[in-house]
Amino acid sequence: MSTSLPRTVLAYQRNAKLYTLSTLVTSVTPFQQLAEASRQLFKAVPDEDSFVVTTAETIFHPQGGGQPSDTGSLTSASNGAKFDVSAVRTDVVHDGVVLHLGRFADPATTFGAGDAVTQAIDAEKRLLYSRLHTAGHVLGAAVRHLLEREIAGFDELKASHFPDAAACEFQGLIEGRWKEPIQRRVDDYVARAMPVEIEFWDPDDFRREGLERLIPREDGEGVKKLAPGEKYRVVRIVGAEVYPCGGTHVDTTDLCGKVGVRKISRSKGTSRVSYNVS
């Protein structure tokens, strides 16, 4: 892979409803020719027919921030070559470059750098992932508002928004008796159809809002290093909370559907609250 690839423009961060997008290919690399650190991003070992494609822009959300990667396809505008995308990651070797892993549907018909392609994502998966991600923030806001002053050392830690494994983790021990109050608060936030707004902040914006604790540390796990002049992307659930977040979301909390608080588990000073959507 070229050592001078440009950063990938993350089109989904401005418009998560883009399910197709025309863009240009910037590289096509056999998987086995990737740098070792880049290959390690993909847990399953691809076969010898697997490639990684990079593009000028992408509507594919890379796995990260607790959200699974999108899947879909890239189709050449000139010869119809189709590349099926099975996994997406942000490279650790080339700053800001998004890697689309997959295979050409017909190995005899391919495309290369400079070719125009149409990206298409699995819209059904995207909607599910967006519902789960917004629901995770709704749950986090509900727990914070209920328990921030009730539990010594309380803080929100991390979250997973994967189907069948969605959960938010908190510093402090949350007793089982809080499950029903948390569910009621979550139900209230969902029923109120709170707007979910995307904003872009610099550190002064966090301070102005009294949210210095949320200023991302660029050495933190899953925190994207900013390009010069870039701002942090934040998600505001109007009337509840603000979260630094690069993921995709639904427009209002009611679009999460039914959010169920499944159980609360505790270990070594932390609590994990699992949830689902239906």
- Beta carbons within 10 angstroms of residue 2's beta carbon: 12
9-121: CATH architecture: Beta Barrel (2.40)
More confident residue, 227 or 143: 143
Q: How confident is the model at residue 222 (pLDDT cuts 50, 70, 90)?
A: very low
Report which DSSP code applies to 177: G
The CATH number of 126-277 is 3.30.980.10
DSSP H helical ranges for 148-193: 179-191
- pTM, two decimal places: 0.93
pLDDT tens digits for range 193-211 = 999 999 999 999 999 999 9
Predicted pLDDT of residue 221: 46
Average pLDDT, the chain: 94
Encoded tokens for 181: 């109050």
Q: pLDDT value at position 263?
A: 97
Confidence band (pLDDT; 50, 70, 90) for 13? very high
Average pLDDT, stretch 127-156?
Answer: 97
CA 150 to chain centre: 30
Mark 204-229 as b/e (b = at least 16 C-beta within 10 Å): ebbeeeebeebebeeeeeeebeeeee
The neighbour count for residue 160, using CB atoms within 10 Å, is 17
Is residue 145 pLDDT above 70, yes or no?
Answer: yes
pLDDT value of position 66: 96
CA 14/CA 158 separation, integer angstroms: 23
- Average pLDDT of the segment spanning 239-262: 97
Residues of the chain with CATH 2.40.30.130: 9-121
Could you give the CA distance from residue 38 to residue 48 in angstroms, rounded to a whole number? 16
| CATH 3.30.980.10 domain locations along the chain | 126-277
